[in-house]
Every structure is written in structure tokens, then in C-alpha cells.
Amino acid sequence: MQALHAPPALSPAILPELVDALVDQGWYVGEGALDSTLCHELHAELRALAEQDALAVAGIGRGTEHTLRRDIRGDAIHWLDRESLAQRRYLEAMGELQRELNRALFLGLFEYEAHFAHYPPGAFYQKHVDSFRGRVNRVVSTVGYLNPDWPADGGGEMAIFAADDPQREVARVAPRAGTFVCFLAETVPHEVRLTRLPRASIAGWFRRNASLDGRVDPAR
Ligand code: OGA
Ligand code: MN
């Protein structure tokens, strides 16, 4: 019942600005773009997963190249699996965003994958881009933040760097509930600065179908 009356998970009012920002600068940051009740529910779900030990230490690289590197990233993750109404609402909103990006920018995005991420105090994720070596699969990255309060000295900001000058920081985003970030996965360097508080987010990627010889590329 709740979903019938719930406001949209991602405010449709931001879409024109989001599309323009992706075209003009390759990234978009929207404060208050995500519904606050939904952020609250997703945050509770992530905390419950952490308590049930249902989070996996995150690695880098796919398949056989997958390795754990705490010196590179220190978060623990859980892939969204549509198990709760809150997850389905979030994923439905991303489906709408996918349709809008395809309509406005002809990106040919064909699927979306996302995981909860929990960064314990002291964790960070070094500067990186989201596309894996030799594969053009992740086209657009999204991050939704779930933390109800975030003090100025909490750390854990996401820093975004210029695609044409990876040393030049162009935005710094506090991981506050409601904030939604979107950027070009292959070209926009970004990092998660050391967090002093437990930090909750949902990182996700729109993918293009890069299948070869009938092999769906790639697995997670
Ligand atoms: C990632 C990532 C940013 C964040 O998971 O690739 O860059 O703020 N996450 O959680
Ligand atoms: Mn990333």
C-alpha cells in the first residue's frame, strides 16, 4: 500500500539539470534529490545487514582479477537484490533514470547494478575511475547517500576530480541522506576520503551490453 502514496524515490524535477550537468561537466550532485523516508528505510536495512554479518569486504577488479586491498578500499558491501520494498523503490527510480538517460543522450544503457556500502570509521576508497581495464561496461555511476546527519568534521566526503585533469578537485560531497551523485564512469576520477564515522551509501552503475560471442559481459 505504502508505495502507492509514496513520493518518487528520486525527484523527477532534477532530471533536466542532471542530464545537462552530465553533458557539460560529466558529473552531477543533487542535495535532497532522494526521498528522505526511503533513505531512512535503506539505512536501517544496511545496518541490519551489518548486524547479521551479511556484508562482504569489498575488493577491486572482476572475476579472477578480484582482490581485497584494504589499502585501496575499506568498505563492506551487499548487492541490492530487490528483497525489500525500499530496495525495489530505489531500483525502480534508477530504471526511470536509465530510460531518461537513454532518451535524452542515446546512451544505450541496458542494465543497472548496485550495492550497499558500509565504510567503518577509518575507511576510505582511493582515487579511481569505475570502469575496469579493457572493458567498456560501466557507463554511468550513481551514488546515493543514507546518513541522516553528517557533521562538518565527519570526513568521508566524496571528492570528484576533473576528467581532463585528475589532480584538480571540482567537487566535494558530504555523504548526507538525500544527496544523489551521478557521473561518467569511465572518465571521472573520484575518491572517498577517510571517514571518522560509520558511512552508508548505495553505489550503482548503468551498464552497456558489451557481450562478445554470445558471452554476456561481464559478470560482476
Ligand atoms: C565506488 C565509489 C563512492 C561513495 O563504490 O566505486 O566510488 O561515495 N563509491 O560511496
Ligand atoms: Mn567509484
How many separate domains does the chain show?
Answer: 1
Which domain does 176 fall in, by range? 12-191
- How many angstroms separate the first and last alpha carbons of the chain? 33
CATH of the domain at 103: 2.60.120.620
Q: Does the pLDDT at position 132 exceed 70?
A: no
- The CB of 158 under 6 Å from ligand 1? The reply is yes
- Report the pLDDT averaged over residues 158-171: 96
Q: Name the percent of the chain lying above pLDDT 90.
A: 75
CB distance 118 to ligand 1 below 6 Å: no
Asked if 144 and 202 count as a contact pair (C-beta separation under 8 A), the reply is yes
Instruction: Give yes or no for residue 169 having a pLDDT over 90.
Output: yes
Find the 217 Cα to ligand 1 centroid distance in Å.
22
Q: How confident is the model at residue 1 (pLDDT cuts 50, 70, 90)?
A: low
Indicate if the pLDDT at residue 42 is higher than 80: yes
What pLDDT score does 208 carry? 87
Tell me whether the omega of the peptide bond preceding residue 218 falls within 30 degrees of 0, making it cis: yes
Report which secondary-structure segment, H or E, holds 99: helix 85-105
The pTM (predicted TM-score) of the whole model is: 0.91
Residue 46 lies in a domain: yes
| Residue 200, amino acid | A
135 pLDDT higher than 70 = no
